[in-house]
């Protein structure tokens, strides 16, 4: 009897030991908080980013592939919290436009964007809500995913400065839209926060403070403070003027 008990005990220990690797994966203790799909024409980019994000344990990668019609169908079917889109891909613009028409472009996190303000503004006009430039890290991508999944706007202060610089310093036919002696320096633009940049586009759409507050899940007084800071940093008096700057980018 004693040998059998010992054998049973040994079997139990072996069985428990076999289950340990399953526990160390952390799938139950640390569940992935957001689901994503990755779209890039370069397999090395999509596969590498997928591996890095999966290793963090905070993001569940549902798949990756080229930004084509097949990817569009997967996005529509799986409804991920965020779509990581390689802006260096030639067909990324078409996919972004298709997602805009499906009212899903605000789930896009664009990575490896060019340093030019024009490109940033063009993507923002498509409704893209997350930006990670070519100096960003995997941690920056995770932060952007989290913010976009919560319906917020995400970009670095540097990208925000380029975006608003494009809006304010536009040399197009509407450059004299606001006859002001000073429209902000590079330092001023760099102080515009991602949330303030997001609200700037809400102003362009003509959203009221109540509508913005409802979308962001904050109080109306908080929105009023954000709007005040946006107008102050752009050196304009009215929200309509700030919205007009955004519309001028499309011309």
Question: What's the mean pLDDT in 178-205?
Answer: 57
If you ran DSSP here, which 8-state letter would residue 105 be given? G
Q: Which domain holds residue 143?
A: 31-155
Note whether residue 240 is domain-resident.
Answer: yes
| Token output for 195 | 């949330």
Domain CATH number, residue 227: 1.10.10.10
Note whether residue 18 is domain-resident.
Answer: no
| Token output for 174 | 């509407």
pLDDT tens readout for residues 84-139: 999 888 888 889 989 988 989 889 999 975 544 447 777 887 888 899 988 889 99
Give dist(CA 145, CA 110) in Å, integer.
10
| Token output for 138 | 């995997």
Note whether residue 2 is domain-resident.
Answer: no
Whether residue 148 sits in one domain with residue 59: yes
Kindly give, in sequence order, each residue whose CB lies less than 8 Å from that of residue 137, ignoring residues fewer than 6 positions away.
none
| Token output for 18 | 């076999």
Is this prediction's pTM over 0.85?
Answer: no
Whether residue 48 sits in one domain with residue 131: yes
Whether residue 162 sits in one domain with residue 147: no
Domain boundary among the residues 123, 155, 187 is at 155
Note whether residue 17 is domain-resident.
Answer: no
| Total Cβ atoms within 10 A of residue 71 | 23
Whether residue 148 sits in one domain with residue 41: yes
Domain CATH number, residue 43: 3.40.50.2300
Whether residue 164 sits in one domain with residue 58: no
Q: Give the full edge-to-edge strand order of the sheet including 59-65.
A: 59-65, 34-39, 82-86, 108-113, 130-133
* C-alpha radius of gyration, the chain, whole number: 23
Whether residue 137 sits in one domain with residue 169: no
Number of domains within the chain: 2
Whether residue 123 sits in one domain with residue 43: yes
Whether residue 238 sits in one domain with residue 182: yes
Domain boundary among the residues 126, 155, 184 is at 155
Note whether residue 26 is domain-resident.
Answer: no
Whether residue 138 sits in one domain with residue 51: yes
Note whether residue 147 is domain-resident.
Answer: yes
Is the pLDDT at 59 greater than 50? The verdict is yes
Question: What's the mean pLDDT in 179-196?
Answer: 49
The most confident of 8-12, 33-37, 190-194, 238-242, by mean pLDDT: 33-37
Whether residue 204 sits in one domain with residue 145: no
Whether residue 91 sits in one domain with residue 199: no
Note whether residue 70 is domain-resident.
Answer: yes
Residue of higher predicted confidence among 21 and 31: 31
Instruction: Determine contact, residues 117/162, Cβ cutoff 8 Å.
Output: yes
Note whether residue 180 is domain-resident.
Answer: yes
Whether residue 143 sits in one domain with residue 233: no
Domain boundary among the residues 108, 140, 155 is at 155
pLDDT tens readout for residues 96-107: 989 988 989 889
């Amino acid at each position: 009897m004693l040998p059998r008990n010992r054998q049973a005990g040994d079997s139990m220990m072996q069985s428990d030991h076999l289950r340990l690797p399953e526990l160390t994966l952390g799938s139950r203790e640390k569940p992935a908080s957001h689901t994503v799909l990755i779209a890039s024409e370069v397999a090395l980019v999509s596969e590498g980013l997928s591996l890095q994000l999966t290793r963090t344990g905070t993001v569940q990668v549902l798949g990756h592939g080229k930004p084509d019609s097949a990817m569009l169908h997967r996005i529509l079917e799986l409804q991920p919290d965020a779509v990581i889109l390689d802006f260096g891909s030639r067909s990324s613009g078409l996919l972004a436009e298709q997602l805009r028409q499906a009212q899903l472009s605000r789930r896009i996190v664009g990575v490896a964007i060019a340093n030019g303000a024009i490109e940033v503004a063009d993507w923002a006009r498509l409704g893209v809500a997350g930006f990670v430039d070519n100096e960003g890290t995997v941690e920056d991508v995770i932060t952007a995913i989290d913010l976009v999944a919560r319906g917020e706007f995400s970009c670095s202060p540097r990208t925000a400065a380029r975006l608003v610089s494009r809006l304010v310093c536009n040399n197009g036919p509407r450059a004299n839209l606001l006859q002001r002696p000073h429209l902000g320096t590079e330092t001023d633009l760099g102080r515009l926060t991602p949330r303030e940049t997001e609200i700037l586009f809400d102003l362009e759409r003509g959203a009221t403070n109540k509508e913005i507050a409802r979308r962001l899940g904050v109080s109306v007084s908080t929105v009023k403070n954000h709007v005040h800071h946006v107008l102050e940093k752009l050196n304009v008096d009215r929200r309509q003027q700030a919205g007009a700057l955004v519309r001028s980018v499309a011309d």
